[in-house]
Structure 1
Amino acid sequence: MKILISELSPLPLDVKERFSNAGIEVDYLDDMESFDPSLYDVIYGRIPIALHPYNAFTNLKFIQLSLAGYDSMPIQKWLSDGKLISNAKGVFSAPIAEMTVMHILMAIKLQPEFAAQQKAHVWKRHEVREMGFLKILFLGTGSIAAETALRLKPFGLLLIGLNTNGREVEPFNVTGKMSEVHEYLRSADIVINTLPYSPETHHLMNEAFFETLKSGAIIANVGRGKTVDEVALLKALRSDQISFAYLDVFESEPLDANSPLWDHPKVMITPHNSNSGQLTKERNYTNFINNIQHYLAGEPLENQL
């Protein structure tokens, strides 16, 4: 069995040694000027279709994605061709959760206003809310939402999570169906979107969504950019229907330099950067090595699609 490591950045030496110690024969795309795609049974990372078309990988059996999201890839085609596919679910959840919690706290405690006052040398006090007893609504109850909710739970918030069928998921206090989202919006103080992109979630957060939302609510989007109608979002910000928005993902990336979101005083932006952490690559490589061992033993894969 041969494996092609097709990562966006070179693997560190200690990780290469781990693959070697695990008895895995590996080629690294960054080490080769050219390669024969028909040689590989397994790919880690992305299929390098810029170098060879997908159908040139004639012996490919298992694809280990190094990302959690896969809406930009022809996953259904690969699955219908009989490929085993596993993603990086959970690998990036902790840093995304930490970044989200930080921005929610900053919004509740009016840190953008205080930062602006400091810059202008203005001494002005404000009424600031406590976190306890606020209602926080999560769109999605997957690993990112669950890790975020876990970190927010000690503040005493009511944690509500919506998923496809309303199934109970820890650590949410209440769970409901996504089809009933508008019923929950009316009382939500904070909305955190962690949903993946699909035709069903396209512009889910639209004008009707924001109009239904409790006035003065805070939103955070760490799911997918195309789930939010940015024109409708700007309208809701201008009317004070939304008091603050933390945005890590956008309809088009990178965000256009002329977008009014950049300079909006009630918006905080990170450049699709919330998933960054010093432990994410280690979790990804460990996940892959574990899955290779499962694959060789004929066992179910972790995070198999």
Structure 2
Amino acid sequence: MEARIAIAPSAEVGAAYVRANSPDLDHLRTNIEKAVFGGGGANVPLGEANGLVWLIPGEPERLRLVLDGHPGIGWVQFPWAGVERFATSGVFQRPVIFTCAKGSFAEQVGEHALMLTLACLRGVVRQARTPRWSPVDPRSLHGRRVTILGGGGVATELVRLLQPFDCRIRVLRRRPEKVEGAEETLPPTALHAVLPETDVLVLALALTPETRHVIGAAELALLPADAVVVNVARGAHIETDALVEALRDGTISAAGLDVTDPEPLAEGHPLWDDPRVLITSHCADSAEYVMRMLCERVERNVRQLRAGLPLEGVIDPATGY
């Protein structure tokens, strides 16, 4: 099968979606063109395309118009793992194969989750903000009970990274397949049962209507008082006001957040100044890494398309990820 691939939208449209560590869109487009060619495909205008690489994680209505106007497009590749803006728009309810970058960025995001965990346990933020000799009693990660919400690439990578620490790891995921290296793989319905036995709670799952605010006041109250919460997925997984109250009341001991809700938090928000909270600016993966891994995914998928083989990162319209 021929792979005639268009790339959209323009850099001007995509400017609103550029994060600090995102690849420059013009540079990204150039490298995607090379990836398409490397997979044996041809870069073509929309009117000639049977595949489309959508460069930004937004503009579902604009994408809908593109697909309506070009019915020959049978495959759409998204640049990031998160596709919640498109899932809620209903754009997936059409006879097109949609793929995203899920799993592509797992190594760096898994590293970031580990870093946030260690920083929270060892009081790094408090140490960094105290301009004098001020010993803080650290806590070790060794032997801790770690619960990971989500069973995709990031969770799998984090489980691998945790092996030297002899942690007791539980993974909660929708699919029943066991995650190698975890003591238990449980369904999401087990969340409330495992929270009281959790020292470190890591969120590494897709954002869907079912997982929005999956961690609120009730869930935080079930955690031990010395528990740490780490979020490297989407800010809306955690009810922000509930997190502020839990920290204020001593319900949990610390939080490491690469994502927040809203994002970014407003200046003066209490989480910025809390010495038990480490916030990084949605920067778990670097621009160079994102560029390289996305282009590798595109090249492989173009090659698979030409060969009539299953594509990587296929989105399930029923679940929205």
2:308 matched residue in structure 1: 298
1:129 and 2:146 aligned = no
Pair 145,116 (structure 1): closer, same or farther in 2 beyond 3 Å: same
- For 1:76 and 1:170, the matched residues in 2 are separated by 35
1:150 matched residue in structure 2: 160
Structure 1 residue 189, shift from structure 2 partner:
0.7
Pair 136,23 (structure 1): closer, same or farther in 2 beyond 3 Å: closer
Structure 1 residue 204, shift from structure 2 partner:
1.1
Unpaired runs of at least 5, structure 1 = 28-35
Greater alpha carbon shift after TM alignment, 49-58 vs 187-196: 49-58
Q: Which residue of 80, 104, 111 maps to 2:124?
A: 111
- For 1:11 and 1:277, the matched residues in 2 are separated by 11
Q: Structure 1 length as normaliser, TM-score? A: 0.88
Greater alpha carbon shift after TM alignment, 93-102 vs 37-46: 37-46
2:79 matched residue in structure 1: 66
- For 1:277 and 1:152, the matched residues in 2 are separated by 25
Structure 1 residue 75, shift from structure 2 partner:
7.5
Q: Which has the higher contact order (CA 8 A, sep 6+)?
A: 2
Q: Is the 8 A contact 2:38 2:299 kept in 1?
A: no
1:244 and 2:247 aligned = no
Give the aligned CA root-mean-square deviation in angstroms: 2.4
Pair 277,188 (structure 1): closer, same or farther in 2 beyond 3 Å: farther
Give % identity. Answer: 26
SS in 2 for 1:151: helix
1:140 matched residue in structure 2: 150
1:194 matched residue in structure 2: 204
Structure 1 residue 101, shift from structure 2 partner:
0.8
Higher helix share: 2
Number of corresponding residues? 294
- For 1:216 and 1:61, the matched residues in 2 are separated by 50
- For 2:198 and 2:176, the matched residues in 1 are separated by 17
Q: Is the 8 A contact 1:37 1:58 kept in 2?
A: no
Structure 1 residue 276, shift from structure 2 partner:
2.4
Q: Which residue of 26, 30, 39 maps to 1:10?
A: 26
Q: Structure 2 length as normaliser, TM-score? A: 0.83
Q: Is the 8 A contact 2:81 2:101 kept in 1?
A: yes
Residue-by-residue CA offset, 1:181-225 (whole Å, 9 max, x unaligned): 111110111100112111111211111001111112100111111
Pair 166,81 (structure 1): closer, same or farther in 2 beyond 3 Å: closer
SS in 2 for 1:154: helix
1:26 matched residue in structure 2: 43
Q: Is the 8 A contact 2:5 2:36 kept in 1?
A: no
Structure 1 residue 283, shift from structure 2 partner:
1.7
SS in 2 for 1:246: strand
Pair 154,70 (structure 1): closer, same or farther in 2 beyond 3 Å: same
1:87 matched residue in structure 2: 100
Greater alpha carbon shift after TM alignment, 163-172 vs 195-204: 163-172
Q: Is the 8 A contact 1:165 1:178 kept in 2?
A: no
Code of the residue aligned with 2:173 in structure 1: it is N
- For 2:63 and 2:214, the matched residues in 1 are separated by 36
Q: Is the 8 A contact 1:109 1:128 kept in 2?
A: yes
